[in-house]
Amino acid sequence: QVQLVESGGGLVQAGGSLRLSCTASGGTFRFYTMGWFRQAPGKEHEFVAAINWSGGVTSYADSVKGRFTISRDNAKKTVYLQMNSLKPEDTAVYYCAVKYSSSSRLPQLGSEYNDWGQGTQVTVSS
């Protein structure tokens, strides 16, 4: 079982950048698929990005493609979400999640992930 802790959220102006980190403890991080999701007030939980165990396969929601980049450092047991050109509609609580699988299929449904972090708030002002 993996425990996940997100960090790096905060308040930023539109057009700015933030980098979120999610550090794992326990388990065998390097074998697992990792994902980022977000939830804005009054909205559904939304897929943002995912990455396979090696970092060689990634997937993005259309709403963030070209602006966000997911990456991982297996030696540090950390997955990152670099967010550029932020928009007010990116405001949400961002969660990382782990799927105990080394498949290169990257689920976009939250129900397919096994464990979650506590979330970090990202607020983008206009």
Per-residue pLDDT of the chain (126 residues; tens, 9 = 90+): 899 999 999 999 999 999 999 999 988 898 999 999 999 999 999 999 999 999 999 999 999 999 999 999 999 999 999 999 999 999 999 999 999 998 889 999 999 999 999 999 999 999
Which amino acid belongs to residue 44?
A: E
SS3 69: strand
The DSSP H or E segment spanning 49 is strand 46-51
Whole-angstrom Cα distance, residue 126 to residue 106?
Answer: 32
Would you state the pLDDT for residue 27?
A: 83
> Would you state the pLDDT for residue 1?
85
- Cα(46)–Cα(122) distance, rounded to whole angstroms? 14
- Residue 123 CA to residue 59 CA, distance in Å, equals 23
Encode 38-51: b = buried (16+ Cβ within 10 Å), e = exposed. beeeeeeebbbbbb
Q: Give the pLDDT score at 38.
A: 98
C-beta of residue 68 within 8 angstroms of C-beta of residue 20: no
Tally of CB atoms within 10 A around 52: 20
